[in-house]
Amino acid sequence: MSTTNDADDTAAAGTAAAGPDRNRVAGAGPVSHAIFRVARIHKLLAGQLLREVGLYPGQELLMMRLWDEGPQRQTDLVAVLDADAPTVTRSVRRLERAGFVRRSPSPTDGRVTIVEATSASMGLRQAVERIWADLERMTVADMDDDRREDVLRALGELERNLSASEEGRRGRRR
């Protein structure tokens, strides 16, 4: 009887296949290394799917926010997407050139830019929703509901741990 589960065996096989240098890296922080690998593959696959509809990774998140919440101040998009202002500005500019968003000055504050989804983006919305559904199916594959809930709980815990560490580090730098 084995003391490891299938996920451990799969992770070990993937790590061993990469050679001794990768084993050293993975051994120094196996959870961090697994997160790095999963995030890299997930982002790569998401990027491939999004390119099929002419989007860059992250632009779908901006569009989803506009579709769900309506027009937004560009500074609010920066905050909610946890991105830097130049990245959001670049994304908005590209989406505007494609006809998916419209920028306009705020009626109450000329320094503020309002971003809104255009009616031309509604076809894109269906494609993005399909892509996210496909990506989700590829990510969870044949996991049952209980296993998906376990994964979501573990990821939530990891996010809370990392967020607390980041806040602590930020506080020490001030």
Would you tell me which CATH number, out of the four given (1.20.120.1200, 1.10.10.10, 3.30.43.10, 1.20.120.430), belongs to the domain 37-139? Answer: 1.10.10.10
The yes-or-no verdict on residue 119 having pLDDT over 80 is yes
E strands in the chain: 72-73, 101-105, 113-117
Q: What is the pLDDT of residues 20-39, one digit of tens each?
A: 566 777 788 899 999 999 99
pLDDT at 4 > cutoff 50:
no
pLDDT at 1: 43
* Radius of gyration, alpha carbons of the chain: 20
Distances (CA, A) of 166 to 75, 86, 162: 22, 22, 6
- 35-63 confidence digits (pLDDT tens): 999 999 999 999 999 999 999 999 999 99
Residues of the chain above pLDDT 70, percent: 86
75 contact partners, CB below 8 Å, separation of at least 6:
85, 112
Give the rounded distance of the alpha carbon of 151 from its chain centre.
16
**For residue 68, what pLDDT is reported?**
96
Say what percent of the chain tops pLDDT 90.
Answer: 71
Cα torsion 29, 30, 33, 39: sign: negative
pLDDT on residue 9: 44
pLDDT band at residue 10 under the 50/70/90 scheme: very low
Asked if residue 96 lies in contact with residue 103, where contact means CB atoms within 8 angstroms, the answer is yes
pLDDT for the residue numbered 157: 96
| Beta-sheet pairing, 101-105 with 72-73 | unpaired
What 3-state class would DSSP assign to 157? helix
pLDDT the model gives residue 128: 96
